[in-house]
Structures are given as structure tokens and as C-alpha cells.
Chain A
Amino acid sequence: MADAAASADKSIQVKLVLLGEAAVGKSSVVLRFVSNEFQANKEPTIGAAFLTQKCRLEDRVLRYEIWDTAGQERFHSLAPMYYRNAQAAVVVYDVTKAASLDKAKSWVKELQRQANPHIVIALAGNKVDLVNNAAASSSSTTEETSEDEPDDATATPAELAQAASGDGLRAVARDEAQAYATEAGLLFFETSAKTGEGIVELFTEIAKKIPIEHILASTRGGGANRPGGAASGSNAQGNVNLDANNQTPKNACNC
């Protein structure tokens, strides 16, 4: 379904944001979804925190505009502007870190309080490869160690050794997270950005649940230049597009 060749026509734009504690694998989940790759110890790409990916369903094509946090979650400094107007959110935790689920829950609360009331929220328990015996025993390297995540480092070498030995280091039971998600009205998946498990399903199920009619109704009239800025009927009259009027001097003057 991650179909780059999908026709450019009629696709519906959906702003999707990632939330969750640092190092749970948010950027990796996006990278898997958008490019179908995984890079252990990937440095955050300078200048990149906005990706797009089409998602084709039977009856419609969505174009996700995926906003990554740009690292602003590390010291609890994510700007509300980031999740304002999002139509979908993936709240990620790390199945090997119990505290990361608590953080995920607080993000869900924040979204339910502040974000677009029609937002579709999915909870993703990532790094499930580490607790899945088959995958864990095949993972013999220590590539998951993250060196410079200041306060929320990922698995410690000891934990990784444990993982390599094939022992589960699961810290969040699947049933527990599922029960919470059901109660809070969230989609729920366990995922692995490393193996790809659950990733496509995650984004496809979100796509199915997006209230298309609502988005179409509120984007009618166009003119907005904010990606996904469709919520709350803001595109009525009076919106202005700054870029459109600025074509002439762009290259010429460099000012």
C-alpha cells in the first residue's frame, strides 16, 4: 500500500504526527513506513522532519504528511503548534520500557485535551522484535545502543545481552496496553521498525479510520498553506497564502 506510484490526483492529505518519549523508535517507524528501511544508530537527519507517503485503500488514496518531532521531545519542549491540526497521531512507546507507556498515556491525554477533536490516535508498542524470541535470538549485535540520548537512553547493554540470549525483556504486557488502548478509544499495534512487523498495518488502519468526509468538508475552499491545516473550518474566507504572492523576487534578489 505504500505506493509511490499512486496517481497524484484525488489523494486526501492527512497530517500525521508522531509522539512519545525519546528513543522509543518514532523516527525509525516513519523511516520503515516511508522508505522500508531501518538504520541502527541513525543520527537525526539535519533538515528533515517532514515526510510524505501515499497510502492506498480500496476506495481512496491518502497522502500522509508525517511530522517528526525534530528532537523537541527530548527535554519536554515539543511545541503545541506541532500537533495542532493533526488529523492522526501515532503515539509510540517501547515494549521493553514500562515508563515509556506512562509517557505515551500522558501524550494521549494532551491530544485529547488540545488537539483536533476528530483526531485518530494509534498507540504503537515498538521494538517488539526485542521480546519476540525468534527475532531476539537472531539479533546478535548491539546495534540498538543509542549513545547520546541524554535522558531516555534505549536498551542498556545488559538488557541487550539478555535480548540476545533469547530471554524476553518485555516490560509492557500486550494485554495491558491493549486494554488501555481500548478503554481510551485508540488503535493499537505492536510494531518493530527493525523487522517491519506491524508497520504497514498501523498506517493502513489509521487511514481506514480517518473521517474523510470531515476533512473534505473543512478543506473546501483551499488556500491554506499549512499542511493538514484543515481542522476547525479554518479555510473559510480570508485566508492568505504568503508564498503565492512572492514568486518574482525569490531567485532574483536573495534578500
Chain B
Amino acid sequence: MDEEYDVIVLGTGLTECILSGLLSVDGKKVLHMDRNDYYGGDSASLNLTQLYRKFRSDQPVPTDLGRDRDYAIDLIPKFIIASGELTKILVHTDVTRYLEFKQIAGSFVFREGKISKVPSTEMEAVRSPLMGLFEKRRAKNFFQFLQNWKDSDPATHQGIDLDKDSMKTVYEKFGLEPGTQDFIGHAMALYLDDDYITKPARATYDRIILYTSSMARYGKSPYIYPLYGLGELPQSFARLSAIYGGTYMLDKQVDEIVTDADGKFVGVRSGNETVKAKQVIGDPSYFGAGKRVDGGKMRVVEDGKVVRAICVLKHPIPGTDDADSAQIIIPQNQVGRRNDIYIAMVSSTHNVCAKDVYIAIVSTIVETDRPEMELAPGLALLGQIHDKFVSVTPLYTPTASGESDNIFITRSYDATSHFETVVEEVQDVWRRVTGGKPLVLKKREGGEGEQ
């Protein structure tokens, strides 16, 4: 380990692995370490043994759930938006060759005590039980307006300026009821709270179009999911990095971030070895995770908490037409909260658990000092819960951009139901690490030296 690297990456979460893959392809000499003996960090998928080691180390792994090897339980519930940014990165880096994807079978929204499919076209809106007759007509006009919108053609704007008018103005123009606004803003535009309503409508418009175009791509839902769990994603980018010369070390203790007199990054100490590099990138757990480290510095601070309950079910979620997988959004207004509750469910169709087992993760941003209670409206939709693993995770944000000390810290995985913010984070860190270069994806030539 006496070599010197361009970049040391700490933690093999998805954000870090995408970055080391892209940096390696870009010609950087990367050393990637993780303290765990498995890939993925917080974004890993665990088998039962690993899950018990993490949540219930004092208890034996149950024998009634089938084979350990059949399990790949995600720690962070997220789905891939079919036409979203992560898909672009997967395709452009060609890591799709290591992965197989399936659709998520359905996208649902909770309204007045019931769940219904999220309508994504004017046709579906007309058939949706979510709205009464007159509201359907108004919703149809709204969807037509969105679908016909052309920036260059003012005739399609109907007097609306997406960059100036708020979403509130748009909803009012079409006379949409609050309940309809809930499913549009939360189950289609995928906002976690209602702050978007007073902001310019453009961002919401973009997000609805992303939803509907993703929906149109494969048909059942706008989401896709990798077989064997989300933990496959970081592993594929790690392989990409290794193929381009990246060095990987799992199960490696990281003891200290070594800096010089000016606080600039020098290297990483593990035991009595120090490996040097020009820059370090890592997840917050390697930088104190909210505590003072390295001479009293606060490198990351807590910015809210997420509560997640991994639920093992022996049946599909009631009301989903026995879907083998589903997303259910419970808009905050529907249950008197500030933040949505969100359910992600996958099953043996995705090779993440034994046959006839369903894994549903219920999560939300913590608002009170009794976080598990906050999940109750979501848990209530699941029917009988065979087993449940609840965790409360702080969300960390770095206190500095890293440009002055070459220490680049990534953010924790947020409460959103998809990977769009992960990609934004990758783009942001990339910009900081490369001194302002935007991330431009190039197609890998010749695809991994195939002969």
C-alpha cells in the first residue's frame, strides 16, 4: 500500500461507487475501501444472516423464512425511475451488462382510507376511482395541457408561464381539488411535502412529465428494479471501477483521516499504515457522523432523520391486485402530517426473498419524538406483519464543500422514493472534485474489451 493514489474513496454505497467508477473511467487512480466485509454500505442488500447481525445480533436467524441465500433485503427503499438520471448513467457506463431489471408492478396512492392506482394519462384519469365525474373532466384538461405543452408554442400555454406562475396558479386554473393536487404533487411529481406548491410550476411540470414518460416506457409502473436487490447497483459500479484500474479493499478498518498543518487532506490511516492520495471522497460515517473529529472539527451535521420499517409479509399488500411489487405513497395531507409516508414492496419475483414472502419497507421523515408511531398509517395498509425491523437514521450533510481541504463528503440517502437525488449528489460531488467540470457521460468504447 505504499503507492500514492489520485483519490481514496471511503464506503461502497451507491453514491461512492458511481463516483469511483466514473473517476476510474476518467483515468484517475482510485483506492476504494469499506469497513464492512460486504459491498453497499447503507445502500446494501442483506441476506438474513447479515440482517440479523445488523438489527438483532443477540438472536438466531429464524428457520421458517426459507434459505438465507434467497434473501437480499434493501436497507434503503428506492426504485429506479425508468427514464430518470440513474438509468442514463447505467446505460452510458454499460454496467447494464451486469444487471437484470424488472418492472415494479404498480404505483398506488392513498386517499380517504383507500389505495388506488395512480392515473398517469388523461385516459386513466377518466377511469380513476380517485375522482368524481366533474373532477375527472378537470383532471383530463390538466393532463392534456401538460402533454401538449411546447415551450416554443405560446398557443399551448393557455396563459400560463411555467417559469413564473406557481403550481398553485396552475392547479387553480384547472380548478383541481386538494385531493387531486395531493396525488399529482406527491404520487406523480414525487414531492415529499407541499413546499413545491408556491414555487414556479416548471419543476413540477418536469417531474410529472418524467413520471408519465417513464410510465409509458414499460407499462405497469414508472419504476424498475434490479434482480437480487439494490445492492447489485454499487457492486456493478465497483466492477466498472476495478476494470479501469480501481483497487478494492473490503473489511478494512479506517482509523484516521490524516491532514497537514493547514487541515488539507494527506491520506487515510488504517492501523499503522497511511495511504496517501490527493483527494478523499466518502460517506458521512467515515467523517464523524455528526460528532467532532480530527482535532475538534465538525465535518458533517445532522439534517433530520428518517424512520424505516422493513416488514416481512407472507402475502401481497391488500388492495394492490396481488401485485408482486408496488409503491404506495401516502400524501402528508391525507394523514395530517408534514411529510409523506412511503411504502416500497418487492418479492421473490425480484429474487430478493423466498417464494411467498413479500418485503415491504415503510418510511418517512421523522417529525416527532415517537418515530415508529408515525409509520402507523403505512403499517396499517400491510395486513398481518410477520416480522418487522425498525430503524431511525440521521441524515447527514457535510459542513464544507471540500474544495479547500480536498475532503469531499457525500450526503446520506434521503427519504425520496427514487434515485434522482442520488444522481444529483454524484453530479455535485463530481463538480467539486474535478474543480468545476460538469459530469459528461461518454459511452464506453467497445464495451469492456469484448473480443
A residues whose Cβ falls under 8 Å from a Cβ of B:
34-35, 44-53, 70-72, 74-77, 79-82, 84, 113-114, 150, 224-227, 229, 232, 234, 238-240, 242-243, 245-246, 250, 254-255
Contacts and interface: CB of A to CB of B under 8 A. Distances in A.
A254 B450 contact: no
Contacts of B91: 242-243, 246
A48 B243 contact: yes
B34 to A, nearest CB: 8
B242 A71 contact: yes
Interface string B95-126: 01111111101000000000000000000000
Chain B contact-residue range equals 35 or more
Given A49-B449, A82-B239, A72 B101 contact: no
A52 B101 CA distance: 23
A24 B105 CA distance: 46
A81 B220 CA distance: 27
B448 A50 contact: yes
Contacts of A45: 449
B1 interface: yes
23 contacts: A49-B242, A50-B447, A50-B449, A50-B450, A71-B247, A71-B248, A76-B250, A77-B248, A77-B250, A81-B98, A81-B232, A84-B228, A225-B100, A226-B100, A229-B227, A238-B102, A238-B105, A238-B349, A240-B224, A242-B90, A246-B91, A254-B440, A255-B88
B235 A81 contact: yes
B209 to A, nearest CB: 16
Given A49-B449, A114-B69, A242-B101, 17 more contacts: A47-B448, A48-B448, A49-B243, A49-B448, A50-B449, A74-B247, A75-B247, A79-B238, A80-B235, A81-B39, A224-B100, A226-B100, A238-B102, A240-B101, A240-B102, A242-B87, A242-B224
A242 B449 contact: no
B236 interface: yes
A47 B244 contact: yes
Contacts of B249: 75, 77
A52 B451 contact: yes
Contacts of A232: 351
A78 to B, nearest CB: 8
B49 to A, nearest CB: 11
A75 B252 contact: yes
Contacts of A240: 82, 101-103, 218, 224
Nearest to A70: B242
Contacts, number: 122
Interface string B236-275: 1011001111011111100000000000000000000000
Chain A binding surface, main DSSP class: loop
Nearest to B85: A255
B247 A239 contact: no
Contacts of B444: 47
Contact of B243 (A34, A46, A74, A246): A46
B398 to A, nearest CB: 26
Nearest to B218: A240
A125 B97 CA distance: 30
Interface of B: 1, 39, 69, 82, 87-88, 90-91, 96-103, 105, 217-218, 220, 224, 227-228, 232, 235-236, 238-239, 242-245, 247-252, 349, 351, 440-444, 446-451
Contacts of A80: 39, 235
A254 B442 contact: yes
B97 A226 contact: yes
B218 A79 contact: no
Contacts of B88: 255
Nearest to B445: A47
A72 B239 contact: yes
A82 B235 CA distance: 8
B25 to A, nearest CB: 8
Nearest to B99: A226
Contacts of B441: 254-255
Nearest to A238: B102
A225 B351 contact: no
A79 B249 CA distance: 11
Given A75-B252, A225-B96, A47 B247 contact: no
Nearest to B70: A232
B174 to A, nearest CB: 31
A254 B91 CA distance: 12
Nearest to A233: B351
Nearest to A68: B243
A150 B1 contact: yes
Contacts of B239: 49, 70, 72, 79, 81-82
B39 A79 contact: yes
A75 B250 contact: yes
Contacts of A82: 235, 239
Smallest CB-CB A-B distances: 8 pairs: A48-B449, A77-B248, A70-B242, A79-B235, A81-B235, A75-B249, A50-B448, A226-B100
B140 to A, nearest CB: 28
Nearest to B232: A81
Contacts of B243: 46-49, 70
Contact of B102 (A76, A239, A245, A250): A239
Nearest to B67: A113
Contacts of B220: 238
Contacts of A70: 239, 242-243
